[in-house]
Amino acid sequence: MEQNRAIHAFATLGHPGRLAVFRLLMRFAPQGVRPTEIAEALGLKQNTLSHHLADLTAAGLVRVERQGRSLYYAVDLDATEGLIGYLALDVGRARPDLLAPLHNSKVPDMRDTDFDVLFICSGNSARSIFAETLLRDLGHGKFQAFSAGTRPQSELNPFALDVLRRNGHDTTGLRSKHLSEFQTPGSIVMDFVFTVCDTAAAEECPPWPGQPITGHWGLPDPAKAFGTEAERALVFAQTYAALRRRIAAFVELPFASLNRLSLQARVDAIGSAHDARA
């Protein structure tokens, strides 16, 4: 990256508000987020957010795309890669003591037992429970699946349980769990961490031990559906079907032949291929 452009980018990220917006967008990458959702997640006024987004876009760190009537802002991953490369290779002179932690971020090894995979949503009562159960049952014994919520419900959604049972899944032992259960010393080190709702993706979360592959596979909350009981049940069934397609694609990935970069791209593509926005 050219020096003046790097200086502009670093100066832009030096403001706490702009850095917060950039960090949030990175949690959704490569997908974009609407300004209203960014403002709600960060508690920003719309005019303040507009200034931050304009500055980030002018620095080349963020791009904007119109989809229908909505604007979606997303991190420019090429520019971000260039900025990190400038800091590590130019400023850092490629010192091995600085780069060693990056080089050690390898793709998880395929083991005889499993990959450990965590699905996160806000309530951990439907979407992440669907994903946990689907991976457990479609994963050919190679995956150990977990789910958690940032603000878990006290009970699982009865519509979700009904969908699982009607599709032949055993629901014994399923429960809502707080994310903190997987963030204590001695917790399982995850190989993959997926958010399946926008609310969970927007939450600030400390880096996961082991640097797992992460992905955002956001879907609307079926619990917010309106209508008759049959209409609401249909929305839960559609959410289950969308997650089943994603999990089915995930378990068929050729893990042994993919490096970390290729695996991240495949994970991103699965989330984008069935994007729930309309």
List, for residues 10-43, the tens digit of each pLDDT value.
999 999 999 999 999 998 988 899 999 999 989 9
Question: pLDDT (tens digit, 9 = 90+) per residue, 100-131?
Answer: 655 555 455 545 447 999 999 999 999 999 99
Q: Give residue 133's pLDDT band: very low, low, confident or very high (50, 70, 90).
A: very high
Q: Is 141 left (phi over 0), alpha (psi -120 to 50) or beta?
A: left
Cβ atoms 193, 148 nearer than 8 A: no
Q: State whether 54 and 120 are in the same domain.
A: no
Identify which has the larger pLDDT, 138 or 260: 138
Q: What is the pLDDT of residue 121?
A: 92
C-alpha 215/C-alpha 136 separation (Å) is 18
Sequence-separated (6 or more) residues with CB below 8 Å from residue 215:
192, 193, 194, 195, 264, 267, 268, 270, 271
Q: State whether 32 and 169 are in the same domain.
A: no
Q: What is the pLDDT of residue 278?
A: 35
Report which DSSP code applies to 66.
Answer: E
Q: State whether 49 and 72 are in the same domain.
A: yes
Q: State whether 69 and 205 are in the same domain.
A: no
The domain tally of the chain equals 2
Domain span including residue 122: 115-273
Q: What is the pLDDT of residue 104?
A: 52
Q: State whether 216 and 268 are in the same domain.
A: yes
Whether pTM exceeds 0.75: yes
Q: State whether 90 and 200 are in the same domain.
A: no
Q: Is the pLDDT of residue 7 over 60?
A: yes
Q: With residue 199 as reference, give the H or E element that holds it.
A: helix 198-202
Question: pLDDT (tens digit, 9 = 90+) per residue, 46-66?
Answer: 999 999 999 999 999 999 999
Q: Per-residue pLDDT averaged across 150-179, rounded?
A: 93
Residue with tokens 């508690």: 43
